[in-house]
């Protein structure tokens, strides 16, 4: 739409000036170094529920871009060896939780009589990395727009809740920053909410949370291939069925390698952290802008209940394993 920014409402109707001004004021506030990422989500929710802005696909895309940009920048602050260690050391745990999530999800889905495609999508989003996994698997098994929307909305609502309740839970449980980061990376769906929750808990939890989550996200490739075989979709070898690693994961690894090869980048670590945190806060603002009451109601109770059961199961099991194995 000519003349409109990506963050404007997708309805095509110009918003009143005071609402537009309110939105830009919130965006400006998110750029202030003292503003916590949790403020972004809260402000977005207030704007959405008050009607100041309407949820829209375009805004969700920009939210994803901000978050992915933040993750890539954070790669410039991380030790490549730690990222690789997180992926290798947690391989067995990741495989176990992914398999367990799919087994439990299939059983609960049959009990609730949810659509098999929606069940697979929610299983994928819960087991690996939320919206990215749903998008990848959905394209392979040729899920419809309605099925994708239901699964994404379910995961999206739970992500918003997790961003708020996990940090205080972590403090109450007296988890160390590494324990909390690992727990959040396994139990929270999307990278955006994992990073946001870790940043709210402790700056030291951010590194382990990001490393574990992004290493876990690499399971998108085998998951896509397995689900394609499960649905007997011969298109897996075709253009639409080809499993792909999200680009930002590759760029994150490139950033980690750059930091390893160019020690001068380490002297600017604090600057990169500030930039990454601002990008994250902006992304969470736009995420919160889509967490409206109509969006919650549109999900329906069966898929939502399936998502909640899986979420509680993986949260508790991951907590027990993390407390027993992570210092």
Q: How many domains would you assign to the chain? A: 1
Predicted confidence (pLDDT) at residue 23 exceeds the cutoff of 80: no
Tens of pLDDT, residue by residue over 130-173, are 776 777 677 677 776 567 767 777 887 788 788 888 999 999 99
Angle at 189 between CA 211 and CA 58, to 5 degrees: 105
Report if residue 2 sits inside a domain: no
Query: In this structure, is residue 38 part of a structural domain?
Result: yes
**Cα-based distances in Å from 224 to 10, 232, 294:** 31, 12, 31
42 within a domain of the structure (yes/no): yes
Q: Look at residue 3 and tell me if it is in a domain.
A: no
Look at residue 7 and tell me whether its pLDDT is greater than 50. no
Within-domain flag for 5: no
Instruction: Yes or no: say if 158 and 294 are a contact pair by the CB < 8 Å rule.
Output: no
Distance, in Å, from the CA atom of 108 to the CA atom of 60, rounded to the nearest integer, reads 29
Q: Which domain holds residue 297?
A: 17-325
Q: How many residues does the chain have?
A: 327
107 pLDDT exceeds 90? Answer: yes
The radius of gyration of the chain's CA atoms, rounded to the nearest angstrom, is 19
Q: What's residue 90's pLDDT?
A: 62
| Spatial CB neighbours of 92, under 8 Å, sequence gap ≥ 6 | none
| pTM, rounded to two decimals | 0.63
In a domain, 95, yes or no: yes
pLDDT of residue 270: 77
- Quote the pLDDT of residue 169: 92
Q: What string of DSSP letters covers 122-148?
A: HHHIIIIITHHHHHHHHHHTT--HHHH
pLDDT at 231: 65
Distance in angstroms (rounded) separating the CA atoms of residues 37 and 52: 20
- Identify the pLDDT of residue 172: 94
Report which of residues 320 and 85 the model is more confident about: 320
In a domain, 12, yes or no: no
1 lies in some domain = no
């Amino acid at each position: 739409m000519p003349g409109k920014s990506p963050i404007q409402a997708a309805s095509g109707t110009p918003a009143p000036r005071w609402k537009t001004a309110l939105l830009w004021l919130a965006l400006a506030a998110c750029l202030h170094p003292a503003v916590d990422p949790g403020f972004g989500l809260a402000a977005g929710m207030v704007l959405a529920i008050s009607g100041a802005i309407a949820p829209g696909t375009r805004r969700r895309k920009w939210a994803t871009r901000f978050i992915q940009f933040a993750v890539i920048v954070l790669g410039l602050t991380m030790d490549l060896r730690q990222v690789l260690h997180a992926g290798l050391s947690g391989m067995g745990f990741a495989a176990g939780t992914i398999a367990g999530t799919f087994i439990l999800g299939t059983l609960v889905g049959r009990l609730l009589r949810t659509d098999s495609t929606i069940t697979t999508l929610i299983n994928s989003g819960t087991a690996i990395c939320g919206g990215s996994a749903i998008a990848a698997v959905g394209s392979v098994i040729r899920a419809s727009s309605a099925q994708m929307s239901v699964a994404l909305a379910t995961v999206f609502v739970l992500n918003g809740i997790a961003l708020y309740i996990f940090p205080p839970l972590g403090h109450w449980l007296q988890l160390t920053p590494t324990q909390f980061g690992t727990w959040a990376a396994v139990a929270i769906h999307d990278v955006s909410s994992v990073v946001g929750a870790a940043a709210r808990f402790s700056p030291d939890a951010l590194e382990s949370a990001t490393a574990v989550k992004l290493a876990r996200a690499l399971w998108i490739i085998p998951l896509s291939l397995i689900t394609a075989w499960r649905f007997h979709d011969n298109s897996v070898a075709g253009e639409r069925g080809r499993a792909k690693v999200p680009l930002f994961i590759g760029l994150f690894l490139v950033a980690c390698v750059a930091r390893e090869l160019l020690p001068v980048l380490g002297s600017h670590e604090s600057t990169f952290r500030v930039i990454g945190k601002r990008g994250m806060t902006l992304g969470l603002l736009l995420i919160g802008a889509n967490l409206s009451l109509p969006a919650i109601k549109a999900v329906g109770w069966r898929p939502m209940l399936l998502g909640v059961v899986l979420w509680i199961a993986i949260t508790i099991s991951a907590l027990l394993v993390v407390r027993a194995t992570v210092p």
